[in-house]
Amino acid sequence: MAGFSFALSFCSIFLFAITEASRCSIIGLPLVRNISELPQDNYGRGGLSHITVAGSLLHGLKEVEVWLQTFSPGSHTPIHRHSCEEVFVVLKGTGTLYFAPSSHEKYPGTPKEFPIYSNSTFLIPVNDAHQVGNTNEHEDLQMLVIISRPPAKVFIYDDWFMPHTAARLKFPYYWDEQCFEAPPVKDEL
């Protein structure tokens, strides 16, 4: 009986390892992939659909990462900054970019607001605090997002007057958690 349950749990660990490996590796994936068939999730953020189109942890990219993100009406990113450049291409919908390029100050401060719209593009320099949201009541906002230096190290603010030094680091970021290999933990037994 003990042998049977050992074999069973060994087997499920083995299966788990296979599933994890195929989800976090490009091995076995076709070269040309249908975006509609890539894994998408909201990663716990209401109104978000995130797809890592081409990723660092997922696909082994060293210099850039590409996301396809869709925000339902009223949804938005947190106020945040990161240690990478970021380029947005708006594919569908309208929204608002809140931008506070004041990393030399103690806190972001009141952001400037910019309307964003289908076929518009904008870039966020390294470490500038920003927030992007769908401020349209009726239509989804869909954007292609390209970041440099993946995987992203994201610092999150509660509000625009939180000191830069108090912003919380979220690393690995939500969509990188599954494929992030933490350094091996020492076996305490």
| Nearer CB in complex with ligand NAG: 5/34 | 34
Taking residues 116 to 145 in sequence order and writing x for each that binds ligand NAG by CB under 6 A, - otherwise, the string is: --xx--------------------------
| Nearer CB in complex with ligand NAG: 95/151 | 95
Q: What is the DSSP letter of 76?
A: B
* End-to-end Cα distance, the chain: 25
Round to whole Å and give the CA distance between 185 and 67: 31
- The answer to whether residue 181 forms part of the interface with ligand NAG (CB under 6 A) is no
Three-state DSSP state, 21: helix
Please enumerate in sequence order all residues whose Cβ is within 8 A of that of 179, keeping only pairs 6 or more positions apart, or say none: 23, 24, 55, 57, 58
Please enumerate in sequence order all residues whose Cβ is within 8 A of that of 97, keeping only pairs 6 or more positions apart, or say none: 113, 114, 115, 116, 122, 130, 131, 132
| Nearer CB in complex with ligand NAG: 3/30 | 30
| Nearer CB in complex with ligand NAG: 37/159 | 37
Query: Is 76 part of any known ligand binding site?
Result: no
| Nearer CB in complex with ligand NAG: 32/182 | 32
Round to whole Å and give the CA distance between 126 and 103: 9
- As measured in angstroms, the least distance from the Cβ of 21 to ligand NAG is 24
Three-state DSSP state, 28: coil
Query: Is 82 part of any known ligand binding site?
Result: yes
Q: Within 10 Å of residue 108's Cβ, how many Cβ atoms?
A: 27
Q: Which one of 6-14, 29-37, 48-56, 153-161 is the stretch in contact with ligand NAG (CB under 6 A)? A: 29-37
Q: Which one of 34-42, 98-106, 125-133, 169-177 is the stretch in contact with ligand NAG (CB under 6 A)? A: 34-42
8 Å CB contact between 33 and 54: no
- The answer to whether residue 30 forms part of the interface with ligand NAG (CB under 6 A) is no
Residues annotated in the binding site, as ranges? 80, 82, 86, 130
Residues annotated in the binding site for Zn(2+), as ranges? 80, 82, 86, 130
Q: Name the site residues for ligand NAG (rule: CB under 6 A).
A: 34, 36-37, 118-119
